Structures are given as structure tokens and as C-alpha cells.
Structure 1
């Protein structure tokens, strides 16, 4: 996303509603657009800037245009202006707390020994987690794993 936004200078932000299932997070959050067409078989809608936005599971979206880019070494910050905004429904917005408590599947760690990914719940079974291990589901590294405590 960073690379594409830097090249095009535009982006859309979807505001997920509490109706969004975990599969939306898997599709749009745990995959790279470099290797996967996230919108395949999804029939997106398009905003005035020509970019897609989700046709369901959102209560609003915003189209943004980059006005300034700030290089923060390990990250970049886009300072944007809103060029379009639409309210799509009156459903509540999904907060991170709501996602953690109601949407994200709880990993079944009972009787297992190893490490669990804090991002997606993937379980790595083993006594030690290799320093260069990458989660096969969400592609996060060892910093996002914690030991299973039974």
C-alpha cells in the first residue's frame, strides 16, 4: 500500500462496521496486493478518484489525496486532504476492542506447547521459535508471537 500510495498520491479508507466478518481481515489485511488481487470476485464500488472501496461491511469511506509525505526512517507518514466522503450505513463502527473481543477467532491452545501469533492467532508448535520465523498466515515476525501458557 505504501508504495502504491506514494506513486499515485491517492487512497481510499474504508470504515468497517461491526458486521465485518473475520474473512474481510484475512482478505484485505493478511495478504499483499503485490501477490493477490484482493478484490477478485468481490465487485467493488468506485469513488470519484477511480479507486475501489468495499461494497459492504462498511459504514463510511473517505477518498484522500496526499499533500505531503514525511519519511520517518522505518515508516512513512502521508498527510492528506479529504476529496470525498460518504456515509454508507448507520451501523456502528468496528473498534479495535470490538474486533479483539468479537471478531478475531480465539486460538485453541489447550494442550499445546509453543507460540501463538498475536495478530492472527496462528499456533507454532515447538519448544523454540526460530528468530527468523514468519507467520504463514499474516506474515508477521517473531515479535508478534507470544508463548502459549496453559
Structure 2
């Protein structure tokens, strides 16, 4: 099978954030989607090996920061290639608290959620979240995963759902 076909599916690029015992933490994700509009429900997919997965399970909440095509590449590097278990990723990033969750300021919008269910796969947890809050934050086009790969020449971290080894 040619796994590159998965790059033809439409994805965005997001920072998923939550709390780790009062400290903000998070990771890059490309798998977030609206499930229903009423009640507003979102699904995200987070690798079992991501520290953020453990923190979402413990806190029961997560936020999605929607990144733009113009996002500072340092944000993707910080949240995509380091572990929140050993690094405070929010130390060098501007963020604010929205709906009691940390949200990246360098984004075009955010959605905050309370976990209402989850499904386990071999490698990832799919969290279903009841939307608590959300708003448009700034200008700019939301970054797609295709744009990230083709224009930004970005690579997928090994824990990403779409990671393909070279």
C-alpha cells in the first residue's frame, strides 16, 4: 500500500493543550474534527506515547489552537519535537487562558472541550470533547497538513497519526 495517499486527506495543524498539575502542556496534532454541531462535539487523536495524552486523561479537558499558514515555526518545533514531561513548552510561547485552558496566541481560533468519551486504538486515543467555548482570534488562513508538507517542507513527528518513516 502507498501510505502517501493519506496526505490527500484533509487535515489541519493544531496545538492541543491541557494542564499537567497546574502547568500548561500540549502537543502538535493534525487529527481534529467536528463530530456534531448540536451539541457541539469535537474529536482529537493523540498518540499513547505523547505526554499530552496522559494529561488529557487526568484533567478531562483539552483546548485546540488552530494554527495559521503564517505561524511561527518555533511553535511547531516546540510542541512537535519535545516532550512536555521534560520541557515546559509554554515557557517560550505567548499564550492566554480561554475557558480555563491554555491557548496559543499565534493562532486564528481556539476551541475548548471537556472529555465526554474516548476510544482506544493500538497507538492512539481518540478523545471526544463537548465544546465549552471557542472563538476566532486572528486573521490568516488555517494551515492544512498538505500546506505544512508541501510549502513549509515540514516533517511529521514520530507520534503523529500520519507519520511515515523515510
SS in 1 for 2:105: coil
Pick from 102, 106, 113: which aligns with 1:64?
A: 113
Does structure 2 conserve the Cα–Cα contact (< 8 Å) formed by 1:71 and 1:77?
yes
Does the 8 Å CA contact 1:22/1:104 hold for their aligned counterparts? Answer: no
Say how many residue pairs are matched. 112
Shift of 1:73: 3.7
Taking the aligned partners of 1:27 and 1:37, their CA distance within structure 2 comes to 9
Matched with 2:64 is: 13
Matches within 5 A, 1:72-111: 72-104=121-153
TM-fit CA distance, 1:75:
2.2
Contact 2:75/2:93 (<8 A) preserved: no
2:165 alignment partner, one of 119, 125, 145: 145
- The runs of 5 or more residues in structure 2 that have no matched partner are 1-51
- In structure 1, the residue corresponding to 2:140 is in which secondary structure? coil
TM-score, normalized by length of structure 2?
Answer: 0.61
With normalisation by structure 1, the TM-score equals: 0.67
Structure 2 equivalent of residue 127 of structure 1:
none
RMSD of the TM alignment (CA)? 1.9
- The CA distance in 2 between the partners of 1:60 and 1:9, in whole Å, is 21
Aligned counterparts of 1:65 and 1:144: Cα–Cα separation in 2: 31
Bigger strand share: 2
Structure number with greater CO (CA < 8 Å, separation at least 6) is: 2
Structure whose CA Rg is larger: 1
| Counterpart position of 1:52 | 102
Residues 9 and 21 of structure 1, relative CA distance in 2, 3 Å threshold: same
Q: How far apart in 2 are the matches of 1:4 and 1:84? A: 20
CA deviations 1:28-62 (Å, max 9, x no partner) are 1111100110010324211122x211112x10010
Unaligned runs of 5+ in 1: 106-117, 120-137
